[in-house]
Amino acid sequence: LVSTGFGFGAKYVVGTSADFPPFEYVENGEFVGFDIDLIKAIAEEMDFEIEIRDMSFDSLIAALASGNIDIVISGMTITPEREEVVSFSKPYWTADQSVVVRDDSELTVTVLFGKHNIGVQTGTTGDLWVEDNLVKTKILTGDFKRYDTYVLAMTDLVNKNIDAIVLDAPVAESFAKVRPVKIVGVIKTYEDYGIAVNKSNKDLLNLINEGIARLEESGRLNELNLKHF
């Protein structure tokens, strides 16, 4: 186990996929974003240390289950499938999915139908949504491409290798500010983000939930909100 104890200065390894602005990304060689500030604030409040480790989104749950990391904060949606493997904190955010195309594209939300090429990040709720609703139903007949990171997907979209990406709405908005892409539709999925820990780590989960509650109470969570959104 990576952890050295419980609370009181214990050190926990936090896994994240730092390509999900404004929740987690790298700026000047540092991990920054809402999630990064949130886990730092919880650690400070509850008196533990953290070390942040960047990994592909798709490997986070397995790393947590095997004990390679202690905590996941990565804009991760609480889903019944994931809850079978790991435990989630109470929700700290709610998001929907957005459909993004190139700025110069004539395509609308109907890009999801017929012979278009759609990209997602592997293992995300966007991936599952497209698979279940468009691929299995054969509503989408073009290519369905999965990427390790949204950064790679965005580059492929800009290079005209795919026609659209389905991804979490707040992150789509973030990318639209810095890349030549725009949002043409929102899919109301009402996803709750939670912080995940190993199922056997009830104490750590309590610590995190207590931390979130205190930050809510003190208004600090709201300050983080204003800072990043």
Among 12, 15, 17, 100, binds ligand GLN (CB under 6 A): 17
| Dihedral sign for Cα atoms in the order 174, 175, 180, 183 | negative
In the complex, minimum distance from the CB of residue 114 to ligand GLN, in angstroms, rounded to a whole number = 25
Complex with ligand GLN: residue 75 or 211, whichever CB lies closer = 75
- Interaction between residue 77 and ligand GLN (CB under 6 A): yes
Residue type, 26: V
In the complex, minimum distance from the CB of residue 76 to ligand GLN, in angstroms, rounded to a whole number = 4
Q: Which helix (H) or strand (E) holds 45?
A: helix 34-46
- Interaction between residue 74 and ligand GLN (CB under 6 A): yes
Q: Would you put residue 160 in left (φ > 0), alpha (ψ -120 to 50) or beta?
A: left
In the complex, minimum distance from the CB of residue 79 to ligand GLN, in angstroms, rounded to a whole number = 7
- HSE at residue 228, side-chain half, CA atoms within 13 A, is 23
* Nearest Cα residue to 193 out of 35, 56, 47, 29: 35
Which stretch, 62-70, 71-79, 107-115, 174-182, contacts ligand GLN (CB under 6 A)? 71-79
Residue type, 11: K
Complex with ligand GLN: residue 48 or 89, whichever CB lies closer = 89
Binding-site size for ligand GLN (CB under 6 A) equals 12
- Per-position x/- string for 157-196, each x denoting binding to ligand GLN as judged by CB under 6 A, each - no binding: -----------x----------------------x-----
**Is-contact 126 119, C-beta < 8 A?**
no
Among 98, 124, 174, 198, binds ligand GLN (CB under 6 A): 124
In the complex, minimum distance from the CB of residue 147 to ligand GLN, in angstroms, rounded to a whole number = 10
- One DSSP character per residue, 163-222 reads SEEEEEHHHHHHHHHHSSEEEEEEEEEEEEE--EEETT-HHHHHHHHHHHHHHHHHTHHH
- Interaction between residue 75 and ligand GLN (CB under 6 A): yes
Q: Would you put residue 47 in left (φ > 0), alpha (ψ -120 to 50) or beta?
A: left
Complex with ligand GLN: residue 10 or 69, whichever CB lies closer = 69
Instruction: Give me the residues that bind ligand GLN (CB under 6 A), please.
Output: 17, 20, 57, 74-77, 121, 124-125, 168, 191
